[in-house]
Structure 1
Amino acid sequence: MEEWVAHPTEHTALDEVIPCVEPATANESLYRSRQVTFELVNVVNQVITNVSNRNFPPQLTPLYYNQSGPLMPLLCNPFTPDLRDRNCSRGEVTLDNATQVWKKYECQSTTVSGGAEICATVGRVTPSIYGQMTAGVTVSQGLYQYGPFLIQLQDCTFVRDTFTTINQGYCPGLERYSKWVYVGLVMVSLAVMLSLIFWVIYARERRHRVYSKQHQPYPVEDKPAATVPGA
């Protein structure tokens, strides 16, 4: 692990389980995620500016759906056209609260001949248009909030930082305790091995004593008297 953290571009055993991309590829992915976020926010704002906040005559269907009431605020684009970070302007809603704010501008709709949906009450967006705008905000918010983190996973920056923290904060103690455990296991192994050796010696000695006792010759005085044939 320490080798991989120190040399992330070199081939190590961790490459098989943690495939990483080149930094240039990761930067390109980050650039594309910002570009998609910028374009999605622009599309939503164009709908608000050119459709929802306009009062069209009834003849201009489908641009006309009886939209009325206060104008909807625009969505804050977190990036400039050159994809740098951008601060929100006054009156814009952020990706975090846009759906809640726009909910106030949703009208109750009804379906007319031809399947067109028009507002039956005051409002700037129909439920279907509001749903499409909410979907765009959800995608943009996901890319904006989680894109950088996903890029860190892609180029293994997050994994490398995590391994560095583990290596610096936990490995010294873990290594010390592992040595203690290893020494303890060695001592237990030696004790078991010595016990087996002593048991083998004891068993052989005991068997030798039993054998010697069984084959010990009788003393002369204890031998039975010889019998004479025909006596």
Structure 2
Amino acid sequence: MKDLSSFPIMARWPVKDPSVLQLYSYPTPNGVKASIMLEETGLPYEAHLVTLADSDVKSPEFLSLNPNNKIPAIIDPNGPDGQSIGLFESGAILLYLADKTGQFIGQTAGDKHRITQWLMFQMGGVGPMFGQLGYFHKFAGNQIEDPRPRERYINEAKRLLNVLNTQLADQDWIAGEYSIADMALAPWLNALEYYGTKDLVEWDSYSNLTAYLDRFMDRPAVQRGKLIPAQS
């Protein structure tokens, strides 16, 4: 039996089976990247609900696993060289799980690099820009009278959407085959509905993207993963 007692997070979120991978997350666009990947690969795991409240993400137990106080994070008791490993950052988790299973990362070294570049495109562009758009439209930022911040993120979101729409002109998936890049990108596209910004960015004008998101959301693993961890 694996011993995970060296991870302080266990005191707050106890495990049932320490031999399987442990996921600490919440069903946000970043959080579901990990749960969808786990559902796609079929790896056994336990999901622990970590809310976005400071009492959870800023608790000493969670900070011991992710000092940046953001979900998701994982502990794999069956890590490299048979040692347990804890990881945070959704992109790093996707890459780790892809390397661990040999799935959704392409067939060749060239494939891996092409997939990774689109993963980085999401991490450095789509996620931060869409998140700021949501902040300035739906959340506290919408109280700011100066229109420039909101306009900046609307325009940048449109630019990024156009890049993706062009990339999908003659293929079903962003890097040619279904991969971790899609698991990173599509949840953020889906978040435009939650933010109420589809009309602002003229979502319906990106026909390749609308079809792409439908394909992604129709996958059984995505349907399961988008609801994990379950909320009480």
Q: TM-score, normalised by structure 2?
A: 0.24
Q: Between the two structures, name the one with larger relative contact order (CA 8 Å, sep ≥ 6).
A: 2
- Structure with higher Rg: it is 1
Q: TM-score, normalised by structure 1?
A: 0.24
Report which of the two has the higher share of strand.
Answer: 2
